[in-house]
């Protein structure tokens, strides 16, 4: 509930800021719209997971208590329902604590100030199934996970607007969506005591984020290359598997990263007019 409330507050704050910017009038003197330059960037980075993140993800996906519902009749004639663990889950390879992160950034520059949307994603991480069937002769699947999200970033060119070498600190808020695919159609007990069956699909959890980054940029206007590093704060809750809660609340999903990006910055309206006069 705490993360869900924070997510809503972040969304409302972002919406208010976007609305304010969209309706700002250049006559008010806040900025000269003809000096604004759009840009697009493509980047890739080595992204390390905090140990708590990697351990938790492996614990959820490869929990040896996962299994299938069985019903037995005891000596008193009562039917007892339990989950019989699947021995096949121990044959999967666990995931590493690092992966390749990829980014597409779309934004605007106003002199030294920059703001952009960082669309981040990653290749799907896969642990191959050890066999076609589980120890209970049920279908097994590849265990998979991936995440994607968007951060609204704000940065500042410390060494001026048009210097060849620049240092750009930035920060932003956004959201992250973590997606997992379980090893089989396991059964889980829900909070009301009923049993539910996982399907052959991804299950997701939405999380708010805070992202910080520092880029060292080499500019050959309009093209530039940069190396960057940073830290992304993520907190996520349990997975909802057909109504049953899988995992624990308020988990640490932080990542740290180092990578490189290429950026193309478009001409402003004033620059286009000056170019046309030459």
| Domain CATH number, residue 93 | 2.40.160.20
Q: How confident is the model at residue 23 (pLDDT cuts 50, 70, 90)?
A: very low
Report the C-alpha gap between 141 and 200 in whole angstroms: 8
As a whole number, mean pLDDT of residues 80-103 equals 92
167 touches 216 (CB < 8 A) = yes
Q: Is pLDDT above 70 for 8?
A: no
Q: Mean per-residue pLDDT for 217-241?
A: 95
Query: HSE on the CB side for 82, CA within 13 Å?
Result: 9
pLDDT score, position 11: 53
Per residue in 165-182, pLDDT tens?
999 999 999 999 999 999
Distance (Å) of CA 248 to CA 35, 219, 235, 252: 49, 46, 11, 10
Q: How many domains does the chain have?
A: 1
Tokens of 80: 């007892």
pTM: 0.83
- Contact yes or no for 99/219 (Cβ under 8 A): no
Cα angle, residue 206 at apex, residues 39 and 86 outer, rounded to 5°: 130
What is the distance, to the nearest Å, from the Cα of residue 251 to the centroid of all Cα atoms in its chain?
Answer: 14
Best CA proximity match to 67, nearest among 90, 89, 87, 86: 86
11: domain range? 2-277
Confidence of residue 14 (pLDDT cuts 50, 70, 90): low
pLDDT tens-digit series, residues 92-129:
999 999 999 999 999 999 999 999 999 999 999 999 99
């Amino acid at each position: 509930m705490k993360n869900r409330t924070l997510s809503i507050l972040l969304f409302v704050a972002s919406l208010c800021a976007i609305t304010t910017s969209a309706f700002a009038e250049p006559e008010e003197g806040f900025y000269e719209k003809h000096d604004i330059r759009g840009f697009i960037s493509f980047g890739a980075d080595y992204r390390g997971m905090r140990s708590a993140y990697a351990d938790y993800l492996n614990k959820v996906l490869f929990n040896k208590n996962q299994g299938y519902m069985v019903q037995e009749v005891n000596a008193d004639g009562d039917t007892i329902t339990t989950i019989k663990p699947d021995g096949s889950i121990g044959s999967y390879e666990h995931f590493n604590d690092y992966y390749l992160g990829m980014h597409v950034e779309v934004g605007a520059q106003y002199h030294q100030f920059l703001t952009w949307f960082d669309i981040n994603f990653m290749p799907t991480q896969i642990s191959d199934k050890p066999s076609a069937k589980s120890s209970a002769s049920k279908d097994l699947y590849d265990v998979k996970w991936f995440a994607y999200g968007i951060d609204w970033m704000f940065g500042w060119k410390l060494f001026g607007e048009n210097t060849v070498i620049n240092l750009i600190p930035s920060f932003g808020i956004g959201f992250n969506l973590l997606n997992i695919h379980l090893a089989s159609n396991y059964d889980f007990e829900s909070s009301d005591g009923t049993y539910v069956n996982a399907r052959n699909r991804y299950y997701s959890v939405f999380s708010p984020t805070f992202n910080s980054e520092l880029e060292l940029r080499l500019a050959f206007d309009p093209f530039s290359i940069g190396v960057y590093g940073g830290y992304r704060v993520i907190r996520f809750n349990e997975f909802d598997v057909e109504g049953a809660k899988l995992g624990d609340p308020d988990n640490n999903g932080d990542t740290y990263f180092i990578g490189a990006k290429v950026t193309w910055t478009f001409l402003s309206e004033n620059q286009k007019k000056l170019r046309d006069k030459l």
